[in-house]
Amino acid sequence: MAFNILDAVKGYLTPELLGQAASYLGESDSSISRAVSGLVPAALTGIINKAEAPGGASAIFDLAQKALGSGILGNLASGFTQGGGGIPDFAPGLLNGIFGDKVGHIANTIAGWAGIKGSSAASLLGSIAPLALGLLGKNASENGLSAGSLLSMLSAQKSSILSALPGGLSLGSLFGTVHTPSPAAHVHETPKKPGGWLMPLLLGVAAVALLLYLVKGCGGHKEEVQEAAITHDTIAAPAPVTAAPAKSYLKLKLADGSEVDVYDGGFESALVNCLNDAACVAGKDKWFDFDDVNFEVGSAKLTDASMRQIANIATILKAYPKAKIKIGGYTDKTGDAAVNKKLSQERADAVLAAIKAKGGNAGQLVGAEGYGSEFAKMPATASDEERKSDRRMAVQLREK
């Protein structure tokens, strides 16, 4: 029987597995099934579009072999048990290689359509795309396919994959000329090829871990960790099993007598202390890192929770009318440098615009700049914890 990549992927995503994913991600079973019905053909469309681009067939062939060689089809479950090895190191680069800077947009579009969180959609996409490539790699190896013959097979199946995109799910602006016919494909139908024993944690722990790598590698800070409690563009960990301890708030009094609610020992306290201290000199080297400004997965859209700290900055500027600040955005060294810099600039611009919208005096806002990984200190091979300090949004106190 001819190999069908759409059926092969759906065969792994059993109703039981989707139910486990829904429980872990804090979503309903029906919403997760709806999201997956869009994510599977969307992921395959992205793979095919990449394969059909100049030089893309070889790139997809190599990624498929790499996915297969990682053991993703047989060892993923054991990799996420106690003491396991976690997700494959290649996974974040794989998604960037296929979708470029559209990862967050695809996840957010499908999230809005399916009625789930952006982080949940990104987690699922981060599981489905590597799975699909692993299956392509397996088929190519078993049948002696070359990059060209793999491309021919994918191109022959493109029409049926496009037909599987649910009606009403508009992805044309993300994939180019893509039509979304109806009816929708339902991934939760009875699978043709059971495979739950291979990947019982695929859409649970593995998906969450992959999202952390993905979003943070693309310039995320802490947003996706809060998305699941949010928001990524993550991108703290989506749908944490154990709630983090509540942070302690206090009232911070400003020079004009006004007060703002801040975290105990947080970002605003450090900034205001400098504004109040004559010995603290403003200038190009005086930076203060935000500790509660976050974004939706892979995007420059600020989360609702970020508005507290954004409003605090506007209030602080009003209390200190001589102060002038600049906004900076930074990423670590993982992922594509150009993509990271672009996203960091968009996020810096978004923070600046939000401060103005909250009443910040435009005359005190001297600009915004995204630096990408330019000033990152840790190598891309460092642990996620070591690279955390390189991913940040910050305020530069230019004058006081």
Give the chain's mean pLDDT.
77
Lowest-confidence segment of 149-158, 291-300, 334-343, 359-368 by average pLDDT: 291-300
Contact in structure between 275 and 400 (CB atoms under 8 Å): yes
Quick one: pLDDT at residue 385? 78
Residue 223 is predicted with a pLDDT of 37
> Could you tell me the pLDDT band of residue 283, with boundaries at 50, 70 and 90?
very high
Among the ranges given (171-185, 254-268, 319-333), the one the predictor scored with the smallest mean pLDDT: 171-185
Q: How confident is the model at residue 300 (pLDDT cuts 50, 70, 90)?
A: confident
What pLDDT, on a 0 to 100 scale, did the predictor assign at position 119?
79
For residue 108, the SS3 value is helix
pLDDT of residue 257: 94
Average pLDDT over residues 321-347: 91
Determine which of 5-19, 169-183, 365-379 has the lowest per-residue pLDDT on average.
169-183
Residue 195, pLDDT > 60, answer no
For residue 171, the model assigns a pLDDT of 65
- Residue 85: pLDDT above 80? no
Top pLDDT among 363 and 79 is at: 363
**Top-confidence residue, 336 or 207:** 336
The residues, ordered by sequence, that sit 6+ positions from 9 with a Cβ below 8 Å of its Cβ are: 40, 43, 44, 128, 131, 132, 135
State how far the alpha carbon of 334 is from the alpha carbons of 66, 70, 159, 216, 379, in Å: 19, 20, 35, 8, 8
CATH topology of domain 249-399: 60s Ribosomal Protein L30; Chain: A; (3.30.1330)
CA 387 – CA 159 distance, rounded (Å): 42
Question: How many Cβ atoms sit within 10 Å of the Cβ of residue 122?
Answer: 36
> Which residue carries 């943070």 as its tokens?
216
Percent of the chain with pLDDT over 90: 30
Predicted confidence band of residue 76 (pLDDT cuts 50, 70, 90): very low
What's residue 309's pLDDT? 94
Domain-by-domain residue ranges, the chain? 5-217, 249-399
In terms of residues, how long is the chain? 400
pLDDT of residue 247: 61
- In the block, tokens 């201290």 appear at 277
166 in helix, strand or coil?
coil
Work out the angle at residue 26's Cα, subtended by the Cα atoms of residues 25 and 32, and round it to the nearest 5 degrees: 70
Give pLDDT, residue 225. 32
Average pLDDT over residues 295-319: 89
Which pLDDT score is estimated for 239? 38
Using 50, 70 and 90 to split pLDDT, how confident is the model at 92?
A: low
pLDDT band of 350, cuts 50, 70, 90: very high
Instruction: Residue 213: count other Cβ atoms within 10 Å of its Cβ.
Output: 24
Band of pLDDT at residue 179, cut at 50, 70 and 90: very low
Residues 267-283 as b/e (b if ≥16 CB within 10 A, e otherwise) read bbbbbbebbeeeeeebe
Query: What does the alpha-carbon distance between residue 21 and residue 44 come to, in Å, rounded to a whole number?
Result: 20
The two three-digit tokens of residue 136, written as one number: 């392509």
pLDDT in tens, 228-258: 332 333 333 333 333 444 567 789 999 999 9
Q: What is the pLDDT of residues 214-232, one digit of tens each?
A: 444 444 433 333 333 323 3
Short-list 216, 47, 225, CA closest to 140:
47
pLDDT of residue 82: 34
Looking at the chain, the whole-number percentage of residues with pLDDT higher than 70 is 74
| pLDDT score of 86 | 40
The DSSP code sequence of 290-337 is -SS--BSTTSSPBPGGGHHHHHHHHHHHHHSTT-EEEEEEE--SSS-H
DSSP single-letter state for residue 327: E
> Which is more confident, 193 or 155?
155
Looking at per-residue pLDDT, the higher value among 211 and 327 belongs to 327
Tens-digit pLDDT profile for residues 29-51 = 888 889 999 899 998 998 998 88
Question: Residue 74's pLDDT band (boundaries 50, 70, 90)?
Answer: low
Lookup: tokens for 375: 């000033």
Among 166-175, 322-331, 342-351, the range scoring the smallest mean pLDDT is 166-175
